[in-house]
Chains A and B, each alone.
Chain A
């Protein structure tokens, strides 16, 4: 009918305009107008278990003109469905929930032990459309508890945790933040990965990481901070953190800040034998030292410092690698992917028992350190 209207020359243009408007109304559009102030903005989600039930806690934002914005936490339960639990909010909250602004998803270790991570996050990656940038954290104990603790700056919990997670650039004990999008990549690739671990006492605190298995997609174990440092070096994400070493002669400490860090995992396949070289390159600068006699600008000091740091990094990496290979048998640094990319034929042979293969491959760690700056003055006598 509409096509006829447009083709016909006898119908005047005013009528064509009306016809066009009517036609537009039938096209797909967004018909559901929802005033923004009639929606409830959800800032964060916590997933817990409560006696075999899934317990879902949403942090709703209460935006106020006169006072500071506050929040309210709404907890709902369901047997196994996140979606069903979400919908139960309708019994409690008058405003319709707006899921677009979810900043973080907290999962308790209990929930992750019971349910697979892809099941838990499915509804968030599939239908509710929070940003793929929203963060995922594993909470030791009660996850909804973490959503009640204000930050040190009295920020709302969801805001505070989001910013806290970004602090991995300041401290190598904190693993890199994990986004929802990254989790879904790991899930689909079936790789092991670590997620930031949150401990809630008086306040929220980042402490180490949680290891999630790529095969079972469930919680495996905690990773302590020392291993996280090693993993960070292997992933090349130590930039901004510090490294503390002891001067071999004086036994005094020196602290270096990592200005730049790169790492490369290089697989070598020789027949049936697979080996790896981890090559770490880093630029550091001296930030703090208690070595009194050191001539900071002189070559001997710099060489010793360099060698000490190289040894330290190498040791850290080897230690955590050993733990990952022998104890946890988890490939979180992406060794498997390197093999898959570089030697796809070999990968096909080993992929089914990669966990075993990974735990046995010899890894050589090479560290190259460049000291960029040692500070403007020397501390030595007469200098």
Chain B
């Protein structure tokens, strides 16, 4: 028995001893007492907590038990009792886990005469406070966004779901970083095959580190060559909860506020939680508006190029006159002109991201207004093109999915090139190619364009339109959930 304690301690010393801030603290509990060793990293473990919640109870136990021979079992019981409410204590069987726990800031407690290790969560890291997510702001709806800490994020979700079948499966990811990753689902809603597949794919990831769910996303998605995101990323806890309720699976990773929601469909690019928080006509209107914006963001510059340089006859006569007069004296063909503006806009957008927050706004104004105005006055680009580019830029921000809108930003350029070569015919070709691509990609077995292709009539009530909740009783058919009804069970 004793040898086990010493051996374990020796092993820990051997594996962790080289770390500069490792502490092996040995102390006696009780009169002749038994040896207790605490192993922790002084740099990241909260020593105050350690003192308060481990050392004190140990000493107290020792004082109370004045027996010459203190029973290790007794000590263990006492320890658990005393620390039960103040600190989370786990028992670990494996010394390898113990090492990882120490490395993540927890304290490993070894008690003489006991085979087990106690892991006390003493890790204390600076945490960001819960803020409104900056990438997905809403006017109406919860202001709660995920933070970098996994436990806090889980707490945020757990707080709102009091369901016995809400399951959290934790695994570790990253060969060297060993980050915590949690797969969340509601076991009697989500399709078990989906859950199994998500877990299988996540577990198969073998990387040194994954510092954001973006990396996880790219490892587990089906089509890496596609410009479209196949897994939804969100900072919003309410979005994650809604996804869980519809039978989707949520993946949370320690160290990033972005949760992954799978499976995803194309229409989710145009859906926002606000669609449900406002009454249904508004929700429907906004969805259609966002889809229009997506179309504009993808095709407007190329349509402009095609119409101006190939098919002026398709433009209304008055408009053609104003376009012609605005293009007076422009030295470049319309494609070059559009390309210059689009590229400079992308540069501007990229640059304003990097700038400190205060300056960013100024640059936005300088870049947008001053350069635009000056370029028009210097007859480098036409005023009409500024409208087109501006409209495109604004439209690309209308999607609530950031990763979706950047995909579309990228698509714009090849389509513009095709438009410059083939005209409207090329734009239509690009549309067809894009459509063909979108119907063939899948997200965890769910076709990307479903429920429109393949058509699922029942899911139409919550895709392009959002019908009143009175009629919205069923969960999406395409997810093949176990429990199909989500509301109004009695009147079924």
A residues near B, CB below 8 A? 24-25, 29-30, 32-37, 39, 41, 61, 63-65, 69, 98, 100-101, 103, 129
Contacts and interface: CB of A to CB of B under 8 A. Distances in A.
Interface string B417-432: 0001011111001000
Given A30-B311, A36-B308, A100-B312, A63 B422 contact: no
A303 B326 CA distance: 61
A30 B73 CA distance: 87
Contact of B426 (A29, A36, A98): A29
Contact of B321 (A33, A69, A129): A69
Interface stretch (B38-46, B111-119, B328-336): B328-336
Contacts of B324: 36-37, 41, 61, 63
Contact of B425 (A30, A64, A100, A129): A30
A34 B312 CA distance: 9
A65 B312 contact: no
Interface of B: 308-313, 317, 320-330, 333-334, 420, 422-426, 429
B26 to A, nearest CB: 64
Contacts of A36: 308-309, 312, 320, 323-324, 327, 334
Contacts of A98: 312-313
Contact of A30 (B322, B325, B423): B423
A65 B334 CA distance: 17
B328 A37 contact: yes
Given A36-B308, A65-B328, A100-B313, A24 B320 contact: no
Given A63-B321, A69-B321, A100-B312, A35 B334 contact: yes
A129 B311 CA distance: 13
Q: What is the predominant secondary structure among interface residues of chain A facing chain B? A: loop
Nearest to B335: A33
A29 B327 contact: no
A338 to B, nearest CB: 36
Contact of A37 (B313, B330, B420): B330
A253 to B, nearest CB: 41
Given A36-B312, A98-B312, A101-B320, A30 B333 contact: no
A65 B384 CA distance: 11
6 contacts: A24-B426, A30-B423, A35-B334, A36-B309, A69-B321, A98-B313
Nearest to A24: B429
Nearest to A28: B425
A-B interface, 5 closest residue pairs, ranked by CB to CB distance from nearest: A100-B313, A63-B325, A63-B324, A30-B423, A29-B425
Given A29-B425, A30-B310, A61-B324, 5 more contacts: A30-B424, A36-B327, A65-B329, A98-B313, A103-B317
A100 B310 CA distance: 13
A331 to B, nearest CB: 35
Nearest to A14: B225
Contacts of B334: 35-36
A129 B309 contact: no
Given A100-B313, A129-B313, A33 B328 contact: no
A101 to B, nearest CB: 5
A29 B430 CA distance: 14
Contact of A35 (B329, B333, B425, B429): B333
Contacts of B333: 33, 35
A348 B440 CA distance: 61
B158 to A, nearest CB: 45
B328 A63 contact: yes
A101 B317 CA distance: 6
Contacts, number: 67
Nearest to A20: B433
B422 A30 contact: yes
B386 to A, nearest CB: 13
A18 to B, nearest CB: 13
A64 B327 contact: no
Nearest to B325: A63
B325 A64 contact: yes
Contacts of B321: 41, 61, 63, 69
A223 B422 CA distance: 51
A313 B490 CA distance: 72
Residue of A36, A63, A98, A103 ringed by the most chain B CB atoms within 10 A: A36
Contact of A64 (B313, B323, B328): B328
A98 B309 CA distance: 12
A29 B257 CA distance: 49
A37 B309 CA distance: 9
A100 B321 CA distance: 12
Contact of A39 (B312, B326, B426, B429): B312
Residue of A33, A69, A98, A103 ringed by the most chain B CB atoms within 10 A: A33
Given A36-B308, A100-B312, A24 B323 contact: no
Contacts of A35: 308-309, 333-334
B313 A65 contact: no
A58 B162 CA distance: 79
A101 B321 CA distance: 10
A69 B322 CA distance: 9
Contacts of A29: 422-423, 425-426
Given A34-B309, A64-B325, A69-B325, A41 B320 contact: yes
A41 B322 CA distance: 12
A360 to B, nearest CB: 47
A224 B362 CA distance: 69
A158 B21 CA distance: 89
A24 B317 contact: no
A33 B329 CA distance: 19
A103 B321 CA distance: 13
B319 to A, nearest CB: 10
Contacts of A25: 422
B304 to A, nearest CB: 11
Nearest to B317: A101
Nearest to B424: A30
A69 B324 CA distance: 10
Nearest to B323: A36
A51 to B, nearest CB: 34
Contacts of B327: 36-37
Residue of B310, B322, B330, B333 ringed by the most chain A CB atoms within 10 A: B310
Contact of B310 (A34, A65, A69): A34
Contact of A65 (B309, B320, B326): B326
Contacts of A63: 321-322, 324-325, 328
Contacts of B323: 36
Contacts of B308: 35-36
A63 to B, nearest CB: 4
A101 B312 CA distance: 9
Contacts of B423: 29-30, 33
Nearest to B376: A65
